[in-house]
Structure 1
C-alpha cells in the first residue's frame, strides 16, 4: 500500500508524497524486503572490487587523474581477513561498507514494520552504493584522498571512524529500543520517548548523519565529511523531520507536544 492510499496516515497528501516511509502502514512486502536484503548484502563486494582491484579507476586515469598504489597488505593473523589483500586503511573502509549493510539489513528484516516495495528497495540500494562509492573513490584519488601521510592511522581516519561507530550504534540501538516499546500491546498508540530518544526527538536520523559524515571523512578527508554531513543534516532538517513531526503531532497530540518541550534537540543532542 502506498503512502497516498494509507488510511492510517492522517497527514496532508503533500507531506505523504515527500515522505519516504508509509507511516502507520504495515502491509507485508516480502519481495521488496528480500530485494533490499540482497542488494545491501551484495554492495560490499562492489566496494571490495574497487578497493582491491581498482574497479572503475581506468576512467579516472583517462582523465589524467592519479590513484593511490595498493599499499602493503594487512597482517592480522586471521586468514579470512589477510586473504583480502587490503592495506589496513582500505580494510577499515571495507569494514564500514559491511557494517552499514549489516545494520540496514537488521533494520529491514527485524525492526521496520512499514512496506518496502521492490522499486523502493532498488532505489535505497542504489543510494547507499552511490554514497559508499563516493567515499571509496575519494580515498583512491590522490587529489582527494584522506590518506595523505605515510603513518597509520591518520587523523581523518581516527575521527571519521569514531563518528561512524558512534553514529551507527546510536541509530541501531535507538531503533531496537523503539521496536521493543512498540511491540508491547500496552504501548499501542503511544510515542516512544525513552532510551536514547530522550536526548533528541529523531536520534536515529542524527545517528545516521554522524556515521555518513564519518564514512565520508575516512575516505575523502575533513572537507568531504563536512559536505556529506551537511547534506544529510539539511535533508533531515528541511524534509524528514518536519513531515514526521506533522504525523506525530496529529497521531500523539498533547503527548507529542510535551515530548517536544522536554526534548528540545531534534537530531543531535546539544547540537541541533
Structure 2
C-alpha cells in the first residue's frame, strides 16, 4: 500500500462482499490501462451490432427476426452522418459512447482504489454485456422499443431523460467528492455536500438511473424496469450495506450525523 492508504476497519466477511478495496490507494497502472482500453473499444462493438448486425446470424438461426436498418440520420455533420445509422440507433450508440467516456474519466481521474487486470476484464465485460443486450433488444422485432412509426417514441424520450440525468448525476457527484477529498483539510471526513446532500450514495443512484434508461431505450418498458430493478436491488442489498459498514467504522460520529441529515440512500424521494 502507499502512504495514503488506510486499513479497512471492516470484518473479512464484509470486505469480501465489496467490489472495491476501500481505503487502499495502491497504484495499479496496468489494470487501469486495461480497463481504459476495454471501455475505449466499447463504442466500436456497439456500432458493429447496430450498423452491421454483428451476431444477428445466430439470432436468425433460431428463428428470431430483426428490424431493417432504417433511413440514415441527416444531422449535417459528416462524421455522424457517415456512420449510416438511423436516428434511434444513433442515440443508442451515443449512450455507449457516453458510458465509455464517463467510466474512463472515473478510472483515470476520479478513482484512487486499485484495479487488477482481472477486475478490469470482469468489469469491462460486465458493462459490454449490458450495453450489448440493449443493442440486440432494439434490433430484435420481438423486444425492440422502436416498433411505432412516429419518431421519437415515448421509450426513447423517457429512456434518454433517465440516461442523461443518471450519468450526469454519477459523474458530477464523483467530481464533487474528489475535489473535497483532495483538500488536506478534509482528511478523515466524509463528503456530505453537493449532490451527496440529496442521497448518501447518490453515485449508485445515478448509475441505476442511466442503466435503466439505456435498457428502456433499447428494449422498452419491461426491459428498462427489469434492468433498473436489478441494479437497484444489488445496490440496496449489497453495495450500500457494505459501504455503510465501512463509512460507519471509518467516520464514526460524522457518518451518524450525515445519516440523520440525509435520510435517502440511493435516489432522493424514493429510497
Same fold (TM over 0.5): yes
C-alpha separation in 2, matches of 1:226 and 1:142: 19
Aligned to 1:188: 187
Aligned to 2:120: 121
* Equivalent runs, 1:148-167 vs 2, <5 Å: 148-167=147-166
Aligned to 1:135: 134
Shift of the alpha carbon at 1:212?
Answer: 0.1
Q: 1:173 and 2:172 equivalent?
A: yes
Aligned to 2:230: 231
* 1:84-142: CA deviation from partner (whole Å, max 9, x where unpaired): 00000000000000000000000000000000111110011100000000100000100
Shift of the alpha carbon at 1:8?
Answer: 1.1
C-alpha separation in 1, matches of 2:14 and 2:99: 28
* 1:147-200: CA deviation from partner (whole Å, max 9, x where unpaired): 011111100000000000000000000000000000000000000000000000
C-alpha separation in 2, matches of 1:173 and 1:224: 27
Name structure 1 gaps, 5 residues minimum: none
C-alpha separation in 2, matches of 1:138 and 1:228: 12
- Cα RMSD after superposing both structures: 0.8
Aligned to 1:41: 40
C-alpha separation in 1, matches of 2:187 and 2:107: 21
What is the DSSP-based 3-state SS (H/G/I as helix, E as strand, rest coil) of the residue aligned with 2:41? helix
Q: 1:203 and 2:202 equivalent?
A: yes
C-alpha separation in 2, matches of 1:150 and 1:57: 23
* 1:241-264: CA deviation from partner (whole Å, max 9, x where unpaired): 000000000010011011101100
Aligned to 1:103: 102
Aligned to 1:28: 27
In the superposition, relative to structure 1, how do residues 7 and 173 fare at CA in structure 2: closer, same or farther (>3 Å)?
closer
Q: 1:10 and 2:22 equivalent?
A: no
Number of residue pairs matched by the alignment: 268
* Equivalent runs, 1:253-264 vs 2, <5 Å: 253-264=252-263
Shift of the alpha carbon at 1:7?
Answer: 6.2
C-alpha separation in 2, matches of 1:82 and 1:150: 21
C-alpha separation in 2, matches of 1:10 and 1:194: 24
C-alpha separation in 2, matches of 1:51 and 1:16: 39
Aligned to 2:111: 112
